[in-house]
Copies of this chain bind each other. A is one copy, B any other.
């Protein structure tokens, strides 16, 4: 591309070519101070004749003490995280909000399994003004610890409220309670639940009492609490390694082929719920006549047709935007308040009266 043998011109080169001082040349580009139109033009012309394409971001960053970079730590390996529309839609909202503010997103992979080092080296040493943890995890998250040590402010999605970080979340506990109550109202009593991962270990299967006590991830814990808020004690709490259709299907196969199967399955995500619906079809159970299935997120899942999932809709893009605004506030030196966005129950075709 550019001729690497010849040094790129600097602002000083441009200034001397235009016969002005560096500080004036700087003003010509930044517009951050008074400058005569003629001078400005002269500088810009000198720049273009030298092939100078604008101030070197590295110099600017050091001088300003800001990188313009927001590190986004996704909750999993990218490959897996991006299979989840929930993560992608939030990221899209976030990037869209950040772009006009001249802030870029640095992608940082979260730990996919416990065998890997818990913290990506980028977390330790990459330049970033703020970090966003797409999946808040636990309060003693090693990533959060590393950021604290570096003095990098953090915004958590769905995390535990903490004095030194900003948390953006939704009313998932209330949402889960609503959808569960909807099932109870339909007469369901034997209700199983399929959850998001408990921790980095990402086990798959029914969780026993000990496992339930060790539940580390806040989002999973809150959604489970929402179910219990209605007085319902799930017949089975089925833990999954990731919010993906295949894990929902595995859960569905196990739960629905057991001897005293539940009449309803509440899932902590729509992808998991879709998997359960597919499993039910596979087994030959009718939804919702034989079994009701509910999800969480409010994704658009046309391929589930003719079924439309009963779910709790959360404002995904808005969540990303809210995070973006929080980031902007932090960079402006403010301390944004924690936010809880509302959710709304959306009744589809996958829930109905409990079988007699």
| Chain A residues near B (Cβ < 8 Å) | 1-2, 4, 8, 51, 53-54, 57-59, 61-62, 65, 67-69, 77-79, 82-83, 85, 88-89, 91-92, 95-96, 99, 102, 104-109, 120-122, 124-127, 147-154, 164-165, 245-246, 278, 302-303, 333
A6 to chain B, nearest CB (A): 10
Closest to A120 in B: B99
Q: How far is the CA of A2 from the CA of B2 in the complex (A)?
A: 41
CB pairs A–B below 8 angstroms (17 shown)? A1-B148, A4-B333, A8-B151, A54-B150, A57-B67, A57-B127, A58-B58, A59-B62, A61-B61, A68-B126, A69-B69, A78-B88, A78-B92, A79-B88, A79-B89, A99-B120, A102-B122
Q: How far is the CA of A96 from the CA of B77 in the complex (A)?
A: 9
A2 to chain B, nearest CB (A): 3
Partner of A78, one of B4, B65, B91, B149: B91
Q: How far is the CA of A105 from the CA of B120 in the complex (A)?
A: 13
A68 to chain B, nearest CB (A): 7
Q: How far is the CA of A122 from the CA of B57 in the complex (A)?
A: 11
Q: Is the CB of B57 within 8 A of A58?
A: no
Q: Is the CB of A58 within 8 A of B67?
A: yes
A26 to chain B, nearest CB (A): 14
Partner of A54, one of B4, B59, B125: B125
Q: Is the CB of A104 within 8 A of B104?
A: no
Q: Is the CB of A124 within 8 A of B54?
A: yes
Also in contact, A152 and B77, with CB within 8 A (given A57-B67, A122-B104) = no
Q: Is the CB of B152 within 8 A of A125?
A: no
Closest to A107 in B: B105
Q: Is the CB of A107 within 8 A of B109?
A: no
